[in-house]
């Protein structure tokens, strides 16, 4: 339930509500979220408020916008394990637009940067990569 009198911003409350539905499985991977219009009518919110909530979920990598079909729960991809060797390091950062395209990353998904002992670097999608030794 969204409470306009609560201390928490209404758009954050809506994002929390939708996030809970996604993480609980009530909204399954690949399933469409309710339209902006439906969410505005259901919860008595403005379209701007709904868009702010969706932006949060996109930035968290939970949903993807599939224009013109709508917003869907992001499907999980198989993961790849990258092995670190002695002297290698791993870090994460947000990708550039070109890296996002090259690695087919949704908005809000970081890249894993592996810096090898010889100084070379490798980029991997953060949502589909595990780092091991």
Phi, psi (degrees; rounded to nearest 5) at 64:
-130, 145
Predicted TM-score (pTM) of this structure: 0.67
C-alpha to C-alpha distances, 25 to 29, 36, 92, 102, 128, nearest whole angstrom = 8, 21, 28, 30, 20
Kindly report the CATH class assigned to 10-73: mainly alpha
Sorting pLDDT into bands at 50, 70 and 90, what band is 69?
A: confident
Kindly report, residue by residue over 99-112, the tens digit of the pLDDT.
Answer: 999 998 877 789 99
Residue ranges in the chain assigned as alpha helix (H)? 10-24, 36-43, 47-59, 97-102
Every domain of the chain and the residues it spans: 10-73, 80-132
pLDDT of residue 91: 96
């Amino acid at each position: 339930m969204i409470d306009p009198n609560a201390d928490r911003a209404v758009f954050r409350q809506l994002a929390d509500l939708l996030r809970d539905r996604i993480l609980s499985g009530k909204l399954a991977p690949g399933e469409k979220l309710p339209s902006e219009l439906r969410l505005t009518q259901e919860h008595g919110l403005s379209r701007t408020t709904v868009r702010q909530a969706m932006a949060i979920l996109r930035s968290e990598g939970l949903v993807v916008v599939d224009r013109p079909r709508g917003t869907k729960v992001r499907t999980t991809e198989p993961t790849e394990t990258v092995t670190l060797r002695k002297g290698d390091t791993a870090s994460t950062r947000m990708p550039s637009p070109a890296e996002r395209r090259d690695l087919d990353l949704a908005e809000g998904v970081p890249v894993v940067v592996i810096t090898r002992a010889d100084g070379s670097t490798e980029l991997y999608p953060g949502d589909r990569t595990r780092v091991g030794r």
